[in-house]
Amino acid sequence: MKVMFVINDLGINEPFGPMILSAIVKEKGHETLLGVIQKEDVMKKIASWKPDMLAYSMMSVDMEDMRQFNRSLREKTKIFTLLGGPHATLDRTCINDPDIDAICVGEGDGAIIDVIEYLENGRENHIEEIPNIMTSESSPMDLRPFLEDLDNLPFMDRALVYDYPFMGRFGIKGVWATRGCMFRCPYCFNNRYNQLYKGKGKIVRRRSVDSMIRETKELIDHYRVDFIRIQDDAFILKVDDWIKEFAERWPSEIGIPFYCLLRSECVTDEMAYYLKKAGCFSICMSIETADDAIRNRMLRRPSSQEELEEAFHILKKHNIHIYANTMLALPFTSLEHDIASVDFAIKSKPDMPNFSIFMPYPGTDLGDYCQRKGIYDPQKDPINYGMRNMSPLTCFSRKEIEAQYNICELAIVAVKLPFLRNVIVNHLIYWKPNKIFFFIHYLFAIHTYGKKIFYFKHTFKEYIDLFIRTFRHYMYDFFGKERNSEQLPKKKDLYRPKKMGDIYTRTEELEKCMEAMTTHYQADLERGE
pLDDT digits (tens, 9 = 90+) for 181-212: 999 999 998 988 999 999 999 999 999 999 99
Q: In this structure, are 113 and 179 located in the same domain? A: no
- Rounded mean pLDDT of 136-143? 80
CB 360 within 8 A of CB 395: no
Answer whether residue 516 is part of any domain.
no
**33 bridge partner residues:** 4
Residues of the chain with pLDDT > 70: what percent? 88
Is 160 part of any domain? no
Query: Residue 259 and residue 100: Cα distance in Å, rounded?
Result: 37
What are the beta bridge partners of residue 308?
none
220 CB contacts (<8 Å, ≥6 apart)? 254, 256
Band (pLDDT 50/70/90 cuts) for residue 175 is very high
Cβ atoms of residues 213 and 254 within 8 Å = yes
7 and 124 fall within a common domain: yes
Question: Residue 526 domain-assigned?
Answer: no
Asked if 215 and 112 sit in the same domain, the reply is: no
Domain harbouring 40, CATH code: 3.40.50.280
pLDDT tens profile 14-72: 999 999 999 999 999 999 999 999 999 999 999 999 999 999 999 888 888 899 999 99
From residue 363, give the alpha-carbon distance in Å to each of 272, 300, 367.
Answer: 35, 17, 7
CA distance linking residue 489 with residue 507, whole number of Å: 20
Identify whether residues 269 and 362 lie together within a single domain. yes
Do 124 and 248 share a domain, yes or no? no
CA–CA separation, 348 and 87 (whole Å): 34
Q: How far is Cα 315 from Cα 338, in angstroms, rounded to an integer?
A: 25
Does 267 score more than 70 pLDDT?
Answer: yes
Average pLDDT over residues 293-306: 96
Residue 505 confidence (pLDDT):
79
Instruction: From residue 87, give the alpha-carbon distance in Å to each of 93, 106, 453, 466.
Output: 10, 10, 29, 29
CA distances from 469 to 113, 364, 474 (A): 34, 31, 9
The answer to whether position 140 is within a domain reads no
Contact status, residue 1 vs residue 48, Cβ threshold 8 Å: no
Sign of CA dihedral 290, 293, 298, 302: positive
Which region, left, alpha or beta, applies to residue 221 given φ > 0 means left and ψ of -120 to 50 means alpha? alpha
Is 242 found in the same domain as 120? no
Q: What is the pLDDT of residue 412?
A: 97
Among 108, 134, 160, identify where a domain stops: 134
At 402-435, the pLDDT tens digits run: 999 999 999 999 999 999 999 999 999 999 999 8
Do 78 and 14 lie in one domain? The reply is: yes
Percent of the chain with pLDDT over 90: 73
Domain boundary among 86, 109, 134: 134
Which residue type occupies 130?
I
455 and 320 belong to one structural domain:
yes
Q: Which residues contact 79 (CB under 8 A, 6 or more apart)?
A: 46, 51, 52, 53, 54, 73
Helices (H) and strands (E) in the chain, counts: 20, 14
Q: What is the DSSP letter of 496?
A: -
β-strand 205-206 against 178-179: which pairing, if any? antiparallel
Q: What is the rounded CA–CA span in Å between residue 348 and residue 455?
A: 21
Domains in the chain, number = 2
pLDDT at position 447 is 85
| 93 lies in the same domain as 188 | no
Could you tell me the pLDDT band of residue 163, with boundaries at 50, 70 and 90? very high
Whether 186 contacts 366, CB under 8 Å: yes
By the 8 A CB rule, do 312 and 322 touch? Answer: yes
Number of CB atoms found within 10 A of residue 110's CB: 15
Q: Averaged over 132-160, what is the pLDDT? A: 92
Contacts of 357 (CB under 8 A, 6+ apart): 327, 328, 329, 387, 388, 389, 390, 391, 404, 405, 408
**Exposure string for 242-274, b = 16+ CB within 10 A, e = fewer:** bbebbbeebeeebebbbbbbbbbebbeeebbeb
User: pLDDT tens digits for 451-474?
Assistant: 899 876 666 776 666 666 666 655
Strands 172-175, 321-328: pairing kind: unpaired
Domain that holds residue 65: 2-134
What is the CATH number for 343?
A: 3.80.30.20
**Tell me, what's the pLDDT at 62?**
87
Query: Pick the residue with more confidence: 321 or 86?
Result: 321
Distance CA 224, CA 209 (A): 22
Question: How deeply is 378 buried, as exposed, middle or buried, from its count of CB atoms within 10 A (0-12, 13-18, 19+)?
Answer: middle
The dihedral built from the CA positions of residue 497, 503, 507 and 510, taken in this order, carries a sign that is negative
- Judged against a pLDDT cut of 60, whether residue 480 lies above it is answered with no
Rounded average pLDDT over 276-285: 98
Whether 393 and 463 map to the same domain: the answer is: yes
Per-residue model confidence as pLDDT tens digits over 216-251: 999 999 999 999 999 999 999 999 999 999 999 999
483-514 per-position pLDDT tens digit: 444 455 554 444 444 443 344 578 999 999 99
Q: Are residues 443 and 377 in the same domain?
A: yes
CA-wise closest residue to 327 among 417, 377, 393: 393
